[in-house]
Structure 1
């Protein structure tokens, strides 16, 4: 029994480590793909491929379910904010800013989700939460304006688009609260990706003229985003939550910006300043500090 428990915990640790690597490097892969494909097209094919894979899993495990009209509406709403708008902002943002910056800014999502949930669900905001929000905002500010307050620069534009991605994900999280208690997690994810694939169609039409043949390297990055970051990583994260608990698993996610920075430096030749590192550390500290309470 103890051996099985240790093996399960070891597998959970391996699962969360792989998840962090997959999601951390996704910013680098997207940056590479932007050389060959426009932003919306990347997001569209990433969702379509992942949706097909998850649909096969649902079929094999016989997990398909029918949803009432209200839940279908919530499903499409969550897909619109959490997938369509999120990846629209993220992919467009990564055209202008670095993979490192993108991951650092998005890392602040849990803090802002917590403060938003407190407003919607009326639970008390403690002084700890307020302090963490302030620290996180300072960290994000340092990263966004690391090169100064030049709103006309592409660099700042990219960072602000990443803020847009963060906001849409917070909205997505609030909407999903009504779905997560009713359905299996993999069912929700598969249905959301299928819905997003449909919602993306009118948005990719203007990009048709920008399509070009993909190199083997770019195709590999697209498949990596779809199969590993959208499909496999989700499964592995759920394995980790089951074996380690939600709190420990979420703590590991604080390492995602570290993976992105390493990948950005080694693969893309990006440089990282002390101000960026300082901003990242402030955000990570705020996440660790607030999760000691929640």
Structure 2
């Protein structure tokens, strides 16, 4: 029981680290929208992340470096999380605002819970549903500033539908990765899915370059390196490590901390004010996540089941 509690706390820390690192992604995506196409920036950031994981994976056991019987699930991770999610997200940000995209991302925990129930028969508990709804209320309050007038003037467009599709894709990625992470370490699952998805992404980027040429400058280079190392490499690894311990529904409850961390980073680095709505919204978001996870039975990570479950390559896996 104590080991499960520690695993759950580590999982909460991992998913919060991921959302903290991703908090700048939407803002930077809009900042770069006139300099580089959505598929091209995605392929560039995952190329950098893949190089990092290639170095790390060399230190892992042979079974962790090989695609085994779970190749279909790894390919599904690559399709949803690598090939589709980032390009669709950046595409949507061409037509909508960071505020609108943040609001729509607030639906992610509920969508993921539905996918988990449908695809892997892992229904959301009442606590998880309640926590997700509480966190969503926190997102809406934070974005609107607690004002009903905000919703009377808010405008939604086709970009919002594209962002909703991206959110659904991410929910599928989290559910699929939870299956893979029963047998593989977070490093192996994240790295191999990137290796599988990157060639497809690069081919699509070559086609996109014919339509959307890249405007190269120092800012683009620096931000692309940042996006490859921080949100892509570290963020994806931390997220998958959290999913391995909390399950897709339990992890996605904390996905709504994205706007909260975005506001905090804005206050720290852009001198943006933190007001009463940020405090109330933030408390609701954090409370929803903690309430959903604090007594939720931890999904056993590969560490906890390694002694009882053989991995899909036929060997036990004890690495994270």
Say whether the fold is shared (TM-score over 0.5): yes
C-alpha contact 1:32 1:218 (8 A) present in aligned 2: no
Deviations 1:41-69 (A, max 9, x none): 1111111111111101112445553223x
Please name the residue that 1:258 is paired with.
260
Match of 1:218 among 214, 217, 220: 220
Alignment length (residue pairs): 278
| TM-superposed deviation, 1:222 | 0.7
Please name the residue that 1:97 is paired with.
96
Please name the residue that 1:66 is paired with.
66
Inter-CA distance 178–286: structure 2 relative to 1 (3 Å threshold): same
CA separation in 1, counterparts of 2:181 and 2:221? 33
C-alpha contact 1:96 1:158 (8 A) present in aligned 2: yes
Within the alignment, does 1:75 sit opposite 2:77 as a pair? no
C-alpha contact 2:186 2:241 (8 A) present in aligned 1: no
Please name the residue that 1:196 is paired with.
197
| TM-superposed deviation, 1:187 | 1.1
Deviations 1:142-186 (A, max 9, x none): 979x66699xx7x52222222111111111222223311111211
Q: Which moved more, 1:166-175 or 1:104-113?
A: 104-113
C-alpha contact 2:243 2:251 (8 A) present in aligned 1: yes
Q: Greater relative contact order: 1 or 2 (C-alpha under 8 angstroms, separation 6 or more)?
A: 1
Stretches of structure 2 that go unaligned for 5 or more consecutive residues are 1-9, 145-149, 297-320
C-alpha contact 2:110 2:129 (8 A) present in aligned 1: no
CA separation in 1, counterparts of 2:84 and 2:275? 29
Measured on the aligned residues, the alpha-carbon RMSD in Å equals 4.3
Deviations 1:89-128 (A, max 9, x none): 2111111223344344334423332233233344555544
Greater helix content: 1
Matches within 5 A, 1:1-294: 19-61=18-60, 64-68=64-68, 70-123=69-122, 126-131=125-130, 155-209=156-210, 210-235=212-237, 254-261=256-263, 286-294=288-296
Inter-CA distance 240–135: structure 2 relative to 1 (3 Å threshold): closer
The DSSP-based 3-state class of the residue aligned with 1:56 is: helix
Inter-CA distance 265–85: structure 2 relative to 1 (3 Å threshold): farther
